Amino acid sequence: MAKRQPTYSTQADQLKDDLRHLSETVEELVNATAKDASGEMNDLRTRAERRLKDTRARLEARGERIYDETRDSLTHQADACDRYVHENPWTSIGIGAAVGMVVGMLLGRR
């Protein structure tokens, strides 16, 4: 039996959870070291805060870009399908009938 690969949404959710946990851990570390007054610790804390903010901004921008590209792609594909059906109505009806017959035959076997 072949192993079933996780879906993209599952992988994306897992990545989001991992990044959220990492972000929370870095924030806890920054907050825990806020009371340390040494110059080196302040410098490290400042760099960690800056990198965390930069990473969040990049991930948010990337997520928005992927969402927009996916939405545009799906819209384009739906429009192309709609145009095809309007330009070839009888072919579309024939394809629908053939698919219906195949599904009916498969379900009738059970």
Q: What is the pLDDT of residues 16-65, one digit of tens each?
A: 777 777 777 777 777 776 666 677 777 777 777 788 788 778 878 888 88
Dihedral of the alpha carbons of 93, 95, 100, 106, in degrees to the nearest 10: 170
SS (H, E, C) 32-93: HCCCCCCHHHHHHHHHHHHHHHHHHHHHHHHHHHHHHHHHHHHHHHHHHHHHHHHHCHHHHH
Does this model's pTM top 0.75?
no
The token pair at 20 is 């959220």
What residues does each domain of the chain span?
A: 12-68, 80-109
Mean residue pLDDT of the chain comes to 80
Given a cut of 80, whether residue 107 has pLDDT beyond it is yes
